[in-house]
Amino acid sequence: MISRVNIRDVLPSDLTSLLRLEKKCFATDRLSRRSFRHWIQADNCAFIVAELEEQVVGYSLIIFFRGTTLARLYSIAIDPDLRGLGLARKLMLEGEKISKQAGRVFLRLEVSVDNPAAIGLYESMGYQPFGIYRNYYEDNNDALRMQKCVRTVPPVAENRAIPWIQQTTTFTCGPAALMMAMRALSKNYQPSQHEELQIWREATTIFMTSGHGGCHPIGLALAASQRGYEVEVWLNRDTTLFVDGVRDENKKRVIELVHQDFVAQAKKEHIKIRYRDFHHSHLISEFKKGNLPIILISTYRMDGRKAPHWVTMSGYDEDCLYVHDSDPDPEEQSASGLDSQHLPIAHKDFLKMSRFGRNPIRTAVILKKGTA
């Protein structure tokens, strides 16, 4: 029977069949009609179905996260009447093939700890567990998180325990990134929304091209220093930051004054500012020492917007840097933020992502081990 199953791309006309299959397969955590419509039309996923005698009997949905080499098995379903025949394996193998062709390095998934058959299948296909998420499903079951390298690269290096913190506003990625690093280096440090907003007030540039100002690297370093952390700043140029995209002369003047004030404060607090260009190997060297970089990137390769965004480095291997991103995409990622943790960024892509503006800024704030 399995030889008669055809694996193909999903079609809009499959919607009714997919909803019927979803209801038959799952009592909870079902994908909605709206979700199916979204993913049928999306271009950042691999959505395939298994068809037997013109009936949809299974599907697999894999999401490709923009700006990273990561793919995630978002959902897979097999008609209960056809389980145990190898259909799930066939869908998984095809999904891995498509992910590899799309340039993805890692495929991740979650599976209920109460589903030994699925866990056994994934283990037999080379997936390795790397975390458990408590009360992940609607029925409060825990999820085992697993990962497989779908391209021939070394396995992921183990990452030190760095908490993931979600930003609570659209403009506080800098404070969230800093709080992750500070908490990782000191268990006595207690992140909070009050802290998030206070750090933003201490580190903001006041203005940006539109909306609220983001955080200046020296401002973030000063905030860390005030909380007892040894810190240094890396900057690729000794000029006023973030002023290029601002047209209003009064706003430009404010940004220049803020920049000058941050530099003066850093000198007074003996915070080292290293004016240098850098790439991934320099950050890896710091990480090996136990230090934690937070890095400014451009979100263009993730969401098509040329916005500055702070992330926290959470690990590395021979092919990728890994980062915690405090701003999950609600259309693509789970409410727990698990897809924003340890995002792999290929070394070859890092230089393009880690610069912002017409006159590119490259900057990082390095928190030192053993402080606070």
CB burial class (10 A; 0-12, 13-18, 19+) of residue 53?
Answer: exposed
Nearest CA to 138 out of 343, 334, 288, 303 is that of 334
DSSP per position, 290-327: T-EEEEEEETHHHHS---EEEEEEEEE-SSEEEEE-S-
| 322 Cβ neighbours under 8 A, 6+ residues apart | 156, 159, 313, 314, 315, 316, 342, 343, 344, 345
By the 8 A CB rule, do 369 and 304 touch? no
Using alpha carbons only, give the angle 330, 343, 370 rounded to the nearest 5 degrees.
115
351 to each of 161, 216, 226, 339, how far by Cα in Å? 26, 20, 31, 22
Determine how many CB atoms are found less than 10 A away from the CB of residue 117.
Answer: 11
| CATH code for the domain defined by 173-367 | 3.90.70.10
Return d(Cα 29, Cα 35) in angstroms, integer: 12
> Look-up: residue for tokens 């690297």?
217
Sheet holding 128-133, edge to edge: 6-9, 45-52, 55-64, 70-78, 106-112, 143-149, 128-133
The DSSP letter of residue 103 is: T
Nearest CA to 10 out of 67, 52, 73, 56 is that of 56
| Level-2 CATH architecture, domain 2-149 | 3-Layer(aba) Sandwich (3.40)
The token pair at 57 is 């009997």
Return d(Cα 254, Cα 241) in angstroms, integer: 12
Return d(Cα 220, Cα 226) in angstroms, integer: 10
Tens of pLDDT, residue by residue, the chain (372 residues): 677 899 999 999 999 999 999 999 998 889 999 999 999 999 999 999 999 999 999 999 999 987 777 899 999 999 999 988 999 999 999 999 999 888 788 899 999 999 999 999 999 999 988 878 888 888 888 989 898 988 654 444 454 679 999 999 989 999 999 999 999 999 999 999 999 999 999 999 988 666 678 899 999 999 999 999 999 999 999 999 888 777 888 888 999 999 999 999 999 999 999 999 999 999 999 999 999 999 999 875 555 566 789 999 998 877 788 899 998 765 444 445 666 788 878 888 888 888 887 788 999 999 998 776
Return d(Cα 280, Cα 322) in angstroms, integer: 11
Query: Which residues is 355 bridged to in the sheet?
Result: none
Same fold? 2-149, 173-367: no
Sheet holding 308-316, edge to edge: 272-275, 231-235, 363-367, 292-298, 308-316, 320-324, 343-346
Phi, psi of 295 (to 5 degrees): -125, 140
By the 8 A CB rule, do 92 and 100 touch? no
Domain ranges for the chain, please list them: 2-149, 173-367
Strands 308-316 and 143-149: unpaired
Return d(Cα 333, Cα 257) in angstroms, integer: 39
Return d(Cα 186, Cα 245) in angstroms, integer: 37
Return d(Cα 356, Cα 372) in angstroms, integer: 31
Q: What is the pLDDT of residue 211?
A: 63
Cα of 177 vs its chain's centroid, Å: 12
Q: What is the pLDDT of residue 101?
A: 84
Q: What is the pLDDT of residue 28?
A: 87
DSSP per position, 173-217: HHHHHHHHHHHHH-TT----HHHHHHHHHHHB-SB-SSSB--B-H
> Would you put residue 206 in left (φ > 0), alpha (ψ -120 to 50) or beta?
left
